[in-house]
Structure formats: structure tokens, C-alpha cells
A and B are shown apart, each in its own frame.
Chain A
Amino acid sequence: MKSNKNILSVLLNKRHKGRTISYTLVVAAWIILTVLQRGGHVSSLIAGLLVPITCYMVAALGLNLNVGISGELNLGQAGFMSVGAFTAVCISGYLAASIPAAPLRLAIALIGGAFVAVIFGLVIGIPVLKLQGDYLAIVTLAFGQIIKSIITNMYLGFDENGFQFSFVQNTTELAPGGKMLLNGPMGATGTQRIATFTAGVILVLIALMIIYNLIWSKSGRAIMAARDNRIAAELSGINITNTKMLSFVVSAGLAGAAGALYGLNYSTLVPNKFDFNTSILILVYVVLGGLGNMNGTMIATVVLVLLPELLRSLQDYRMLIYAVVLIVIMLITNNEHLKTWFKSIRSKQADSRKEAA
């Protein structure tokens, strides 16, 4: 009975370790950056990147649940960010007069953005999750394109008589004092910038909590079981569609919240911001950080958002170098010789540790 208890405690500790590291990292980064910023030691370039980094982080963490844990290739994460962003911008724009307190309005807008993204996730997930592998990838890609096209053609405004909406052609005629929320290809303009770094950090912590607690539960085990062996999972009584839906929708919701924060960080936001390239960018964070590895995702996001900025002195060459770095990292991390070499080092270390003990 004693050994039984030991194993349980070991398992629980192991799980808590990765999670504790994540929370500690995020909180430490927040404290350090806030202190530095107060002291005026953070360049305006970095300061401007703090909120976007947290946004990409949350979207990438969500995508890691979908791609890393659930094993589905999703190429439409930017679509969900877009839905979240424009929902939040509209909510915040509409409530600007009635709720002047920015943090409260921000919270409502984030929840609203996440909620609408979840609805989209459900609607898209029903057909999409019946497909497998690369077919699923292409449908998520198609979805991202459709969202972009639709938002590019949406016109939404309100005045004292209520909302006015038009599609493709702008036919809204607002009374004086009215306000356009969405303006077709121009997107949202005149948004109050109410996003803050602290809000971003809180969002990252919430995302981590949702993902970790989900992974280490019935749902997480079901998601991983469906990934590892579909038929065995079904025969263990797992409903594959529901399980995949859960990871897809949670991922969409997190992307929605991330997009919402992103949208409220800029005074203007065009629908083209969330195109296929953005989806790919987020996927790169996930893959480079390591599938299923949340700490890796966060580190990769920071490094890859900063990299082009730090290479700014190289001007025109920076994106070329970025591309080369990307290729070289993939070639090195997937090199069979290096992999076996690392393994041998690791096992040697483990052996020596055993001997020492």
C-alpha cells in the first residue's frame, strides 16, 4: 500500500512541475518588465511589443492544444483571432459611453470576443472534425480565408436610432454623432486603446490554467487517446468527435480572446492583419516550441516575435535571415544524428545520476 501512495505522489509532483515552471515564468516576466518599465528601462520598441506578444502567446497556447495535444493540423487560427478582435472592438466601441471604466470594458470585450469565437468554433467544428489529416488542415485554411473575406465586406455602425449594418456595399447612413464600428476593408478605426500588458499576462495565466487543467483530466486523456489510437479510443468508450470538438473549441476561444486583446491594443485594425500568414506564424511558434510543450510555445513566441525586431539594424535582410533561421532550426532539430547524440548524452547523465544515488 505504501508503494502505491508513493507512485501517486510522484505522478502528481511531475505534473505540477511543468505547470509551476510555466506560472512562475509568466509572473516573473511580468514583475521584471513592469519594474523595468516603471524605471524607464524598456525601449519604446519593446514596450510596444509586450501586448502583442501576450496575444500571440495565448493564440499559440490554444493552437498547441489543438495541434500538439489533439494532433490536428489547424491552419485557421488567425480566423478565430479575427472574429475575436472585431467582436471586441465593436463591443468596446459601443460600450465606450455607457461603461467608461476601461478594465471592466476590456474584460467584457475579451469575454465577448472569446464567446463569439467559440460559437464559430462550434459551427465550423461540426463539419470540419469529420475530416482527417491534411483535409482538415485545408478546411481550416479555407475557413480563415472566408472569415477574412466576410469581415472585409462588413459595414457596421450605430447612432441614436440603433445599429445599421450592410454587406459588400456600404449603405449605412448614420445620424450626426453616430459611429462606424466596422468599415469594410478599412476595418475598425478610432478604437480606444484599452489593452494593457497586465491584462495580457492575466490572459496568459488563464490560458495556461485552462489548458493544463484540461490536459490532466478526463478530457485531456481522451484527447490524447484519440490522437494516439482512434479505434482503441472509441473502444474505450470515447466519443471522438466530441473530444476533438472540445480541443478545437477551446483553442478557438483562446484565439478569440487573444484577438480581442490585440484589437484593443491598436487604434486601427484592418481585416487583412489576420490572414493566412498570421495563422502560419502562430503554427510556427507551436512547432518550434515543441508539440504539446506549453513552456516551449511561450518561449518560441517571445523569441520569434522579437527576432525580426532585433534584426531591424540589418534592415532588408532581416526577413531573409528569419527565413533561414526557421529552416536551419527545423533541419537541426530533426537531424537523426543529432537526435541520437542528444539521447546518448541524456541516458549517460541519467546513468551517472543513478550511480551517484
Chain B
Amino acid sequence: MEFISYLVNGLGLGSVYAIIALGYTMVYGIAKMLNFAHGDVIMIGAYISFFALMNFGLPIIPATLLAIICCTILGVVIEKLAYKPLRQASSLAVLITAIGVSYFLQNGAQLLWTSATKVYPSAMPSGSLTLGGFSISWLTLITIGVCLLIMAVLTTFINKTKTGRAMRACSEDKGAAILMGINVNFIISVTFAIGSGLAAIASVLLCSTYPSVFPTLGAMPGIKAFTAAVFGGIGSIPGAFLGGLLLGIIEILAKAYISTQLSDAIVFAVLIVVLLIKPTGLLGRKLSEKV
């Protein structure tokens, strides 16, 4: 019984990681870059939804929508200003720029809102659903539900719409996609927009579970979700989903049964082991070089 409730909690945390990891993996798949500033977009989303809830007194859904809109715009603007000029540059140059953007967002937030931790209001339905012998909190259920919904919508979008097809084409071969008349710049913008919007949703779910808001809030979930994306095979959308869920479960189980302090070490150790067995992640594709 205890095990099952840990498992469900793990799924809840994993769902948040999965939503963030989707942003990493989509950007990687299409722009071939590690967007280290993604975690800080989560932080911005957290502050915006915090002010919407506390200062404007908005209910949770409009507050989330506001956060989504702001983060989407932020994501697109970051891409246009900082990453687009570096399309031809080395991946290291882009990585360093992303780190610069990350510092900028963290320090900007600190200037605007100070480094003091703010307590996130509980706007989600409280209480829990009791089924048979054990209970699951509504928050966990909502988190898992939102994650499944996002996964379903995203999969449909990628597979069924014209833009989705263009995205897949770009991730396969950007040069060929341009020749087919696909506007690659537009597709990259769309990718950043979707990724950042998802980060906003993740921020609301994350802060409802761990209710504190501070400027470096996004760093650790960002690294964990990045790990989840690699775990599942970076560039693969189902991989990010699977990687996120597994990472959440491993983290919660490690905390429950091994040691709270060592849970991070265990998560990263599992990642290393997985990559040794499957060097491109669980669902990643094998790369081969033509000679």
C-alpha cells in the first residue's frame, strides 16, 4: 500500500519533469541546442502566476493562462534576440549564450522581485480522493491528468497538423526542409513557443506541490528535466515523457527507501547506468556515420 502511494507521488513529480523535458527535447530535436535557460522560463512562469493569484486575485485557470501567454512570448523573444543570430555558430557558442540568458533571467528576477522566497498560494483543489484503502491527493491526480492531456494533444499536433509535419521534417533534415519550402525560422519559433508555454504549465504544477517561489527556482527542476530528456533519448517526444515519469518515480522511491539526502545522486547514477547500456537513451535513435 505504502509502495503504491509512493509510486503515485512519483508519477506526479514525474509528470512535472515530463512536461519540462518536452520543452528541452523539442528544442533539441529542432534547433539542435541545449537550451539551458529553459529552467528559468519556469521560474518566470512561477512568478507571473504567483502575482496573478496573489495580487490580481485571479482564479487558477486564468492565472495559468496568463503565465502561458507571458512565457510563450518570452521564449520566442529569447530565441529571436539571443539564439537566432547564432544559427551558424558552434553548439558551444549557443550553449554559452543560453547560460548567459539563464543568468540574465535569474538576476533580472532577483532585481525585480528580490531573492526572498515567496510562498505560493494554494489555488488547487485540496483534499484527496480515497479509493479502497489508500488516497491520492487531487493535486497529484490533476498533475498526472494534465501531463497525459498535454502528451495526447502534442502527439496529435506533431502527427496530424501541417505545422507538426514541418517540425518533424526540420528535426530530420533542416536543409531538405528549407528546399521543401518550409519556413524553418517560423518552425523554430513555434517550437520555442510550445516549449515555453509548457514550462509555464509546469511552473504552476510545481509550485502548487512545492509552494515556494525564488529566482533560482528553475535551476534544479531544469537540470532534472534535462536529465529526463536525455534519459528517454533527447529529441524524442515519447522519450521525454517516459524519461520524466521514470525520473520522478526513481527520485521519490529513492527518497522513501534509501536516503533523502542521496536521492539526487541516485537519480544521476541511474542516468549514467542507462546511458551505458543504451548510449542514446531509452527511446533515442542510433546515430551512424557514413564512410
Contacts and interface: CB of A to CB of B under 8 A. Distances in A.
Nearest to A317: B111
Contact of B107 (A150, A280, A320): A320
Given A130-B279, A135-B280, A168-B261, A327 B101 contact: yes
Interface in B244-291: 259, 261-262, 264-265, 268-269, 271-272, 275-276, 279-281, 287, 289, 291
A331 interface: yes
B163 interface: no
Contacts of A319: 103, 107, 110
A73 B287 CA distance: 18
Given A67-B92, A135-B280, A320 B265 contact: no
B96 A326 contact: yes
Interface in A280-305: 280, 283-284, 287-288, 291
B82 A331 contact: yes
A331 B111 contact: no
B264 A135 contact: no
B169 to A, nearest CB: 22
Contacts of B291: 231
A113 to B, nearest CB: 21
A312 to B, nearest CB: 14
Contacts of B101: 323, 327
B100 A141 contact: no
B272 A142 contact: yes
Contacts of A280: 36, 99
Interface residues on A, range: 35 or more
Interface in A138-193: 138-139, 141-143, 145-146, 149-150, 152-153, 168
A316 interface: yes
Nearest to B258: A168
A347 B35 CA distance: 36
A350 interface: no
Can you list the 6 inter-chain pairs with the closest CB atoms, starting with the nearest?
A326-B100, A149-B265, A142-B268, A323-B103, A323-B104, A334-B89
Interface of B: 28, 34, 36, 82, 85-86, 88-90, 92-93, 95-97, 99-101, 103-104, 107-108, 110-111, 219, 223, 226-227, 230, 234, 259, 261-262, 264-265, 268-269, 271-272, 275-276, 279-281, 287, 289, 291
Interface of A: 67, 73, 127, 130-132, 134-135, 137-139, 141-143, 145-146, 149-150, 152-153, 168, 230-231, 276, 280, 283-284, 287-288, 291, 316-317, 319-320, 322-324, 326-327, 330-331, 333-336
